[in-house]
């Protein structure tokens, strides 16, 4: 339904149904999500197999064997202890889209009735000088979660140098590679930030594959659902999003929002404007 569906029908395009009871942030395994993955040449059968695998893993009532329960409980406990911001940090460019999806998934699902943590995503080591300074020495209201890709596709050996000009022979002499360095980009900050008073947890992804990413998506979706219920509200709705849309449409003069526009104009009339030139 909607204008885009009408246009597609008019043009004779094939369409896929977006279920009415599935919000956009949970739609990765719906037709609308899978068609995009397939067009990106991602094996959607492996992806859905990862989804199903994590569904089975998180189906147990044994707390310590259920990563969705552990993740939800740790994040909820951190919030109860005054942690208001969660830093999602990764050592992989390929995991940044997942981190940015989490940046929508968690606030939109948890941000009800004064609850929930603000999410901030960081690629390490890129953000270690900027965001890393705040994490290390800023206000102690942070939780840090690491998404770690253990084996990268484009691994690079570290060559030695007779004069050790770059001071990296301590790595090449031991036959170490960039996978090792990328891991230390997480391990070093994790230790330093923890010693500085920031609790953290790490989610390890063995390698980049459709199966593993499918597992990760299901883990996050189930965990945030549990988290919402721990807060005591429905994690599958987003009533706050409608507030800004309503105000925006009223200000823009969209038909049907005349009453709202009048209410806003009346409320603004009594407010003093301060203009700085």
- E strand or H helix that includes residue 266: helix 258-269
Q: What is the CA radius of gyration of the chain?
A: 23
Burial of 276 from C-beta contacts in 10 A (0-12 / 13-18 / 19+): exposed
Q: Pick from 46, 38, 148: which is nearest to 94 by CA?
A: 148
Distance CA 69, CA 88 (A): 18
d(CA 72, CA 18): 28
Task: Please name the residues in contact with 157: beta carbons below 8 A apart, sequence gap of 6 or more.
Answer: 172, 177, 178
Strands 200-207, 142-151: pairing is parallel
Are 256 and 245 in contact, with CB atoms under 8 Å apart? no
Whole-number Å distance between alpha carbons of 92 and 152: 8
Which are the catalytic amino acids? 108, 129, 245
d(CA 153, CA 186): 18
Cα-Cα-Cα-Cα torsion 101, 92, 215, 99, nearest 10 degrees, comes to -20
Instruction: Give the whole-angstrom CA distance, residue 64 versus residue 71.
Output: 10
- 229: tokens are 């219920």
Residues whose CB falls within 8 Å of the CB of residue 88, separated by 6 or more in sequence, listed in order: 99, 102, 103, 119, 120, 121, 122, 145, 147
């Amino acid at each position: 339904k909607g204008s885009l569906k009408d246009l597609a029908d008019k043009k004779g395009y094939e369409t896929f149904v977006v279920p009415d009871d599935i919000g956009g942030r949970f739609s990765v395994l719906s037709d609308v999500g899978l068609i995009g993955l397939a067009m990106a040449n991602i094996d959607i059968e492996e992806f859905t197999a990862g989804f199903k695998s994590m569904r089975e893993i998180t189906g147990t009532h044994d707390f310590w064997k259920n990563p969705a329960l552990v993740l939800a409980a740790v994040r909820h406990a951190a919030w109860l202890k005054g942690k208001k911001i969660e830093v999602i940090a990764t050592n992989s460019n390929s995991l940044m889209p997942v981190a940015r999806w989490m940046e929508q998934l968690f606030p939109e699902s948890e941000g009800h009735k004064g609850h929930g943590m603000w999410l901030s995503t960081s690629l390490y080591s890129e953000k270690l000088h900027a965001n890393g300074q705040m994490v290390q020495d800023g206000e102690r209201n942070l939780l840090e979660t690491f998404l770690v890709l253990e084996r990268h596709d484009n691994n690079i050996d570290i060559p030695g140098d007779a004069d050790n000009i770059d001071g990296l022979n301590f790595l090449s002499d031991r036959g170490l590679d960039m996978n090792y360095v990328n891991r230390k980009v997480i391990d070093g900050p994790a230790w330093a930030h923890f010693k500085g008073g920031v609790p953290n947890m790490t989610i390890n992804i063995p390698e980049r594959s459709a199966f593993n990413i499918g597992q990760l998506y299901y883990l996050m979706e189930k965990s945030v659902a549990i988290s919402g219920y721990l807060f005591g509200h429905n994690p599958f709705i987003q009533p706050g999003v409608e507030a800004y849309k309503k105000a925006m449409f009223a200000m823009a003069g969209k038909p049907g929002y005349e009453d709202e526009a009048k209410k806003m104009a009346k409320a603004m009339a009594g407010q003093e404007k301060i203009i700085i030139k």
